[in-house]
Amino acid sequence: MRLRLEAMRVALAGLVAWAAVLPPLAARPLEDIQRRGVLVLCAHPNALPFASKRGSTRGLQIDLADEIARRMGLRLDIGWVTEGFQYRAVDCDIVMDAIVDEDALAERNLKWSTPYQRSGVALALRPGSPGIERFADLGPDARIGVQMGSLAQVILGKSGLKVIPFGFEDEMVAAVAAGEIDAAAVTPASIGWFNHEHPDRTLTVVHAYEHEPELAWDVAVGLRRSDRFLRRAIDRAVQSMLDDGTIGRIYAAYGIEHRQPTTQKPLLIERKSQIGEEACIRLGNQRDCTGSR
């Protein structure tokens, strides 16, 4: 199964494509979702470790969404999509792993939950490569696999590193393991999943994106249609899963390290004259009020 460099962006990309060509739909109130008892997730049918329609391994996006639905007292239903235009036909409520880019989301009237994972473009290395913490530590002679046309290719190429274009992440990771290239600029999820599936050929993950902000991001639940009550309910579920370690355990089941996100949702508290104190709720260490977002 082939994973593109933008694999973790699949959910957001589909929503962006849909939103760019179709008028916005009315919000689906939490009350309506509770009445029918189902939360609908849009996911790709063939994209492990993220999601899969076949076999007993469902994918981390399915596992995360299922637990969110359970904590909301709902059942999870899955709408399988491979193209952006299918999101409207499926009429899903959420997608997982939406990249937290507030401006891009706001332009398309898309909402995002409390972030639950830190990610970006990492380095896959063979064991025994000490002293490498960032891309520049590789040196000018190192052969670095990058996805063709990606931002990583542009940034690393401009810095003088020797980049070798590939089409897919799984090809890059396999090439590192085979000694065909020295490193690969891929998502940590791709490296972790390779290690999970090939315990005899594990690779080292270097979170080099932490030194290259343009190649780092947080992910959250993307809310395609929601009122403020649905967003608050999902925030509560996500925060509780962060607090009790559930999210970390789900990632670990796929060989992926859970890393705490750095993005904080904006906190806007309106004056009591505009909104009653009883309308405010506590989400972990955050405070949310009706009408605040």
Mean pLDDT of 132-151: 95
pLDDT value for 146: 98
What is the pLDDT at residue 243?
97
More confident residue, 278 or 231: 231
Q: How high is the pLDDT of residue 1?
A: 45
The CA distance from 126 to 271, in Å, is 56
* 187 and 62 co-located in one domain: no
Does 271 fall in a domain? no
Cis amide bond preceding 49, omega within 30: yes
What's the rounded mean pLDDT across residues 181-191? 98
For residues 155-161, give the mean pLDDT: 95
175 confidence band (pLDDT: 50, 70, 90): very high
Alpha-carbon distance of 30 to 208, in angstroms, equals: 40
What's the mean pLDDT when you consider all of the chain? 84
Question: Cβ neighbours of residue 24 under 8 Å, at least 6 residues apart?
Answer: 109
Number of structural domains (the chain) is: 2
| Alpha helix ranges (H) inside 198-227 | none
pLDDT above 50: residue 228: yes
What is the per-residue pLDDT for 18?
40
Res 109: pLDDT: 64
CATH number at residue 164: 3.40.190.10
Q: How far apart are CA 183 and CA 161, in angstroms?
A: 11
Instruction: Check whether residue 221 and residue 115 sit in a common domain.
Output: yes
Say yes or no to pLDDT of 150 above 90: yes
- Same domain? For 110 and 233 the reply is yes
pLDDT band at 25; cut points 50, 70, 90: low
**Domain of 75, in residue numbers:** 7-119+217-266
84 vs 27, higher pLDDT: 84
Both 23 and 68 in a single domain? yes
28: tokens are: 């689906």
Name the residue with higher pLDDT: 91 or 58: 58
Question: Minimum mean pLDDT among 106-120, 160-174, 207-221, 265-279: which range?
Answer: 265-279
Q: What are phi and psi of 130, to 5 degrees?
A: -75, 160
